[in-house]
Every structure is written in structure tokens, then in C-alpha cells.
Amino acid sequence: MSQAAEGEIVHFDNVGLRYGTDREVLSDLSFTLYPGSFYFLTGASGAGKTSLLKLLYLALRPSRGMVRMFGADAITLPREQMPALRRRIGVVFQDFRLVQHLSAFDNVALPLRVAGVPERDIEKPVADMLEWVGLTDRIAARPATLSGGEQQRVAIARAVIGRPEILVADEPTGNVDPDMAIKLLRLFEALNRLGTTVVVATHDVHLLKKVPESLIMRLDKGRLSDPTGALRYPPRRSAVPAGDRP
């Protein structure tokens, strides 16, 4: 594993992505994400936001270019080393992708169980996390019996339970009312303050104003623009000191 460039958590260099033999849905993406930063990924429907997020949470490999995650070359990384990398990434899927036959508790506990955390060390953190997202009374409910907003919160709780170094959220407020959208955004901010890099894909321009310190990545027809210049010239932010991390 190569040494990460100082302070970077993700680095894309001239990345392109195509599905099959179609034209590229993402072209010439070059950017770096830094620890403790909050990014909004915006763009019209079909601009390639979800495809870029899939590259970020290692669901896809690019067709060309270089992707470095946590200092490792994600393209040449042996397959058996991918799970360890994925465990450092939290994902909120656009369609939640909760496991339908598991309860809210078991869905949230899934990343910990996958990581091999002993059962005795799972119960309390998961209960606390569900309390944090206001679902204590729905702990045993299965996804089919939860409302859209509740499923969204379970998905978020599942994404953050493992204290990921980077949180990737695809339209996390797309299915909830404005009040819940603000509440969820506050959750992401709280996590960001604890040191997690947050990338939120959204087409809701009003949401961008709610997090003043956020950096904006804009996709247009598969190409990245940098309206604030923050990707090319990132502000000097100090990552949260290790001692303050939970």
C-alpha cells in the first residue's frame, strides 16, 4: 500500500467511467478529498452523481485513470483487500438498501457484525445509534413496516455505526420532508465534526446553504466543475485531533 499524500483521503486522477461499450458517463475527473471536510456533490439528474459515488464507495472500478483511497491504489488493489477498505467507508444509498428480513436493530448492527465485532459489544452502540436517530421505539421493526423517513434514518445509522472515515450519501434527503432533511443534515454535520469526511450528493440547491463550510463539487454531463475553487485550492482545515475522536 502506497503512502497517502499528506492529508488526503481520496484522490482521483483523470478518471473516466463507461458502462460496457457506451460513451463515458464520467470523464476526466481529477480531485482530492481531505479528512474532516464536508462536500456537496451537485448536478442535474443524469449528470453522473450516483456513478461517481459508486466509484467512491468502491462498487465500481473506473474504466481509466487512477483512484487512490486511504493511500491505496483502488484499481490494482487485490480483491481480498477490498473489504478492509470498504469498512472505512459509510454509505447511505439513495434507495436505502436495507436488508428486508432484518429488523432495524440488525440492519444497523450489520457493519459491526461484518467487521467481526463481538456480539456483546454490539448491543449498546446500536441501541444508542438508533436512539440518536430517534428510532428507539422502532428497534425491532422490519424495513417494510417503517416509513420512508424512518428507513432513511436506519440507513444513515447503519452508515455511521462503524465510525467511517468517509461517509458517502446519495440523495439522503430526497425522500423526507424538509424538517427531516434539516435534521438529517445536522446528523451529518455532527459526524463531520467528529472527523468524518462527508460527501452528500444532492440536487437540492437549498440544502447547500444549510452547511456554510461545505465545499461544492458540481457534475455536468459527467465532468466535474469546481465553482468555489475548493477542489483545486482546498482551504487549510485542521482535521479533528485524534484524541477528540470518539
Partner 1 sequence: MKSYPAFARGPVHAWRRFFGIGETELVPQARLSGPMPWVIAIMVALTVIASAAGLALRNTAQAAAAELEGGITVQIVEAAPEARKAQAQASVKRLQETRSVVSVRLVPEQEVNSLIEPWLGSGTDSTPDAEIPVPALIDVRIDREVTPARLAEIQDALGKVAPSARIDAQSTWLEPVFDAIESLQWLAIALIVLLTIALGAAVLLAARTALGTNRDTIEIVHLLGGTDRQIARVFQRSIGVDAAGGGAVGLVLAIVVIMFLGRRFASLGAGMVDQGALGWFDWLLLALVPVAAVVLAMVTARITVMHTLRKML
Name the site residues for partner 1 (rule: CB under 8 A): 57-61, 79-80, 82-87, 91, 97, 99, 101-102, 105-106, 109-111, 113-115, 119-120, 122-123, 126-127, 139-140, 158
Nearer to partner 1, 64 or 97 (CB): 97
Nearer to partner 1, 122 or 217 (CB): 122
Alpha-carbon span 75 to 62, nearest angstrom: 8
C-alpha cell at 186: 445536522
Alpha-carbon span 197 to 178, nearest angstrom: 24
C-alpha cell at 245: 475522536
Residue 209 CB, nearest approach to partner 1 (Å):
31
Q: What is the DSSP string of 10-30?
A: EEEEEEEEESTTS-EEEEEEE
Nearer to partner 1, 99 or 205 (CB): 99
Alpha-carbon span 18 to 225, nearest angstrom: 19
Nearer to partner 1, 117 or 230 (CB): 117
Residue located via cell numbers 437549498: 206
How many other CB atoms are found less than 10 A from the CB of residue 175?
16
The span from the first CA to the last CA of the chain, in angstroms, equals 26
Residue 138 CB, nearest approach to partner 1 (Å):
13
| 77 DSSP assignment | S
Nearer to partner 1, 115 or 182 (CB): 115
Residue 113 CB, nearest approach to partner 1 (Å):
4
Residue 156 CB, nearest approach to partner 1 (Å):
14
Residue 167 CB, nearest approach to partner 1 (Å):
13
Helices (H) and strands (E) in the chain, counts: 7, 10
Q: In a 3-state reduction of DSSP, which class is residue 216?
A: strand
Nearer to partner 1, 86 or 203 (CB): 86
Helix (H) / strand (E) containing 179:
helix 178-193
C-alpha cell at 213: 463550510
Residue 199 CB, nearest approach to partner 1 (Å):
15
Nearer to partner 1, 82 or 240 (CB): 82
Residue 68 CB, nearest approach to partner 1 (Å):
17
